[in-house]
Structure 1
Amino acid sequence: MSDKPIQIGLLFFPGMTQLDVTGPFEVFARLPNARIHLLWKRIEPVVSDVGLPLMPTTTFADCPDLDVLCVGGGPGQVTVMDDDDLQAFLRDKGGSARYLTSVCAGCLMLGGAGLLDGYRSACHWLLIDQLKAFGAIPVDQRVVVDRNRISGGGVTAGIDFGFKVAALLCGEDVARRLQLFLEYQPEPPFDITVQNAPPELLAEIRAAAVPMVRERAAAGQRALAKLRASERPRTEKAIA
């Protein structure tokens, strides 16, 4: 194993769903020679979607080149998805990372930055269809690996995702030992999934989520519009 530190960045932003990235963080932080960067524009507390304060450690400007960039989702995505600084950061550090990764709806933020076109991706089940707008290929799996893009499904899938990334970075033996140490042996108290839930319950949840889903879709369209506008001058310059 190389002595070179493994540089891992996890994006923080106001309104994030913290478990999307703190689940993987619990695994990544224990990898040998890992350097973890909790990333945001400024070193100041951000508050998660359910009120948990979180403190970034590294600004976008000070972020080193990364081996792994991980982006989670959350309601705050609606506000930050088309943020110029964030889009530029994702294209810069995400585009050069060894592995560009996401959990839950974080994939939509990568899509909005133009980084998922032609790639297979997982997503939260309520939002997975929105991947098509970015040229991505929706896949209904817990963890999806497509070349150097790795994605986890909704929220808790980030833990499974974390062990998969750990195995790719440090080998299966390291990941297996970590899984044992962290006593990851899920026993859900209720046998209910998207695959086996009663249709009426799924319909009820989908109906309640309509405003959120529409907000996310609108945010994605704004991000795509900004991306296309930023690409147009480069294209015109190249033609000239």
Structure 2
Amino acid sequence: MATPLEIGLLVFPDFTQLDLTGPVQVFSSLPNANVHLLWKRIEPVKSDGPIVLSPTKAFADSPQLDVICVPGGYGTDALMEDGEVLAFLRQQSREAAYVTSVCTGSLVLGAAGLLKGYRAATHWSAREALPYFDAILSEERVCVDRNRVTGGGITAGIDFALTLVSLLVDRPTAEAIQLRMEYNPAPPFNAGSPDTAPRQVLAAMREKMAPGQARRLEAVRRIVAR
């Protein structure tokens, strides 16, 4: 039997659960794969909603991963300045086949120096921050640049994971997982992108997000200045 794939996803305080659980649902359908939820310690970790998850392995006990993935969420602002997390990502990235993220998780990869010269995607509200890390901004829903695979915001995590499965295994395997999940999106509104959302909806969301975006940019500039 072939050696199992080792796939690890970070969990951390204030992660966005769908950034994590969408890909986990896809990866858990892979035959011959071990999926790990990783954090500094084995202790419950609260998402940015009511869901609390328990890591399955501490950083120190993680195997060498074939895939390392950082989901996004409000907690990524703190992660960008967390030396222990950044060191773990750098260590794993040396031998990982794929270094990946969903949503604002790409900013954490950037802070670790892992996106320099790579095209990368992120949540639309964080696009102005990504180039500070010498990444090349992509507005694709899923961006593949060599062994860096990054997804856009939140729901793009499912698209990201299916794309990655097609690279890790093959397209028929990814299509079978998509069919099992009945992933057949038909959104009720055409408001899922700043390019298509009604102007008043976009304006209200930009106003709501502005304080958080300002704090994030302040942190990014502080990191880059170092």
User: TM-score, normalised to structure 2's length?
Assistant: 0.95
**Where do 1:50-199 residues align within 5 Å?**
50-192=49-191, 193-199=193-199
Give 1:189 shift.
Answer: 1.2
RMSD across aligned C-alpha pairs, in angstroms? 1.3
Q: Give, in angstroms, the shift of residue 29 of structure 1.
A: 0.9
- How far apart are residue 201 of structure 1 and its match? 2.5
SS of alignment partner, residue 96 of structure 1: coil
Moved more, 151-160 or 71-80: 71-80
Distance of 1:201 and 1:52 partners within structure 2: 27
Q: Identical aligned pairs, as a percentage? A: 51
Paired position in structure 2 for 1:202 = 202
Pairs aligned (count): 225
Q: 1:105-134: CA deviations, max 9, x gaps? A: 000000001000111011100111111100
Q: Which moved further from structure 2: 186-195 or 157-166? A: 186-195
Shift of 1:206: 1.2
Could you list the per-position Cα deviations for residues 207-226 of structure 1 after superposition, in whole angstroms to 9, with x for gaps in the alignment?
2211111122223234445x
Partner of 1:231: none
Distance 1:223 1:90 in 2: 16
How far apart are 1:94 and its partner, in Å?
2.4
Give the Cα–Cα distance (whole angstroms) in 2 for the partners of residues 216 and 53 of structure 1: 24
Opposite residue 157 of structure 1, the aligned amino acid is A
**Separation in 2, partners of 1:46, 1:210:** 27
C-alpha distance in 2 between matches for 1:206 and 1:162: 28
Which secondary structure state, in structure 2, belongs to the residue aligned with residue 150 of structure 1? strand
Cα shift readout 1:117-161 (whole Å, capped 9, x = no counterpart): 111011100111111100001111110000000010000000011
Judging changes above 3 Å, is the alpha-carbon distance between structure 1 residues 54 and 222 closer, same or farther for their aligned structure 2 residues?
farther
Q: Which amino acid aligns with 1:142?
A: R
User: Could you tell me which residue of structure 2 aligns to residue 233 of structure 1?
Assistant: none
**Aligned equivalents of 1:185, 1:195: Cα separation in 2:** 22
Following superposition, which runs of at least 4 residues in structure 1 exceed 6 angstroms of deviation? none
SS at match of 1:44: coil
For residues 1-32 of structure 1, the C-alpha deviation after alignment (integer angstroms, 9 at most, x for no partner) is: x6111000000000101111110000001111
Extract unaligned runs of 5+ from structure 2.
none
